[in-house]
Structure 1
Amino acid sequence: MSYQMIKKQFKLGLFTALIGNLLWLGMVNVSADDTVISDSPTVSALTKKVEAAKIAAKAAAEKIVAEKAAAAAKAALATNTNMVSEVAVEYTANTYPAGQCTWGAKEMAPWVGNYWGNGGDWAASAAALGYEVGTTPKVGAIAVWTDGGYGHVAYVTDVAANGHIQVKESNYGGVYYPSNVRGFFDPTTTSEGTVSYIYPPAGV
């Protein structure tokens, strides 16, 4: 082989090696760049998730605080009732069956509605119409007992310091006209069941 041919092949080999090295370096740089590019969104996404979790946790905590405050306000309102019903009253003729406890209660308290059902239904019926209902006795209120049957109602005429009451009632103890049959008694220990009170409208 001549010297010129050897020199030419040597130069070609150097050129090929140089091109190969350049291509290899380019691939390394591209791979490194790709790694950086692919890693960056992952870190960003994680950061966004952490921030979103913090916001959600704060919102949940604020919701719990708001719910507790609302519950406390509702409880305070129930406890601090003024025992006066702020309702418009229609005074109508008594249509309950004569001699029944419902009839006697409306005779004593004309502000009572005519379609409140059996005695045991009165507290729920009155509350649905906007009447104030509670568990503290008051003169002029209607006492309502729910015994699981028809229930019983009576008109409160006196309240003692110990919580005992006197009432006028019908269809109790064989008496069918509104009368004070029992004197003072504990309204929470009678056979008529759980007691509540419908408070009279303002001005009554």
Structure 2
Amino acid sequence: MSHARTSPAFAAVAVVALGVVGCTQQTDGTPIETTAPISQAASNDPGMPQVANPKNLEAVSDPCQLLTADQLAQLGTGGKPTHRPSAWGEDTCTWGAKTDGLRVNLAPSTTLNRGLTSVLRTVHKTAPDEVIDGYPMVTSQPLTYSCGIYVSTTSEDVFSLNVDRGDSDRPEHQDTCAVAKQVASMVLSNLPAKN
């Protein structure tokens, strides 16, 4: 069954608005394993949580280098990635943009220095939802075929991921929030530590 795909321009606007699409898939209630608790910044601002082992998102200038060819094959997406500038001037990367299957958009944010504050306000939440590999994460509001998440790599730097399953009928693509979390874990594993 086909559905209308989001245009790249609309996707860029959604990222700018810090309200990228969320997931509609219901989980079975099984808690997601986490490796470290979220600790709050000295200001006690849940939008700028401290992370025990910060990652250097600025160290990788090309966001298309944040997933390897093997990881893309494991996810079932790929092709030549496309670049677009974000509204705040940083490069973004989209894999699978020219396919009807799984599409992944990655947008780093290292210049705004707002952490998760804006996304928490946009989705009317007071704190991150959970952690992925020790890094605070917020899921944005749900839409039918996609899931958007924001992950803190430091108290000020974040990256957003938007996963759209498109017309993929692969079982592992149906829970797009699970795919987004898997992608986030891969990205985190490819980032160097921040000293």
- Structure with greater strand share of residues: 2
Say yes or no: TM over 0.5.
no
TM tier, smaller: under 0.3
- Structure with greater helix share of residues: 1
Q: Which has the larger radius of gyration?
A: 1
TM-score (norm 1): 0.24
Question: Using CA pairs below 8 Å that are at least 6 residues apart, which structure has the higher relative contact order?
Answer: 2
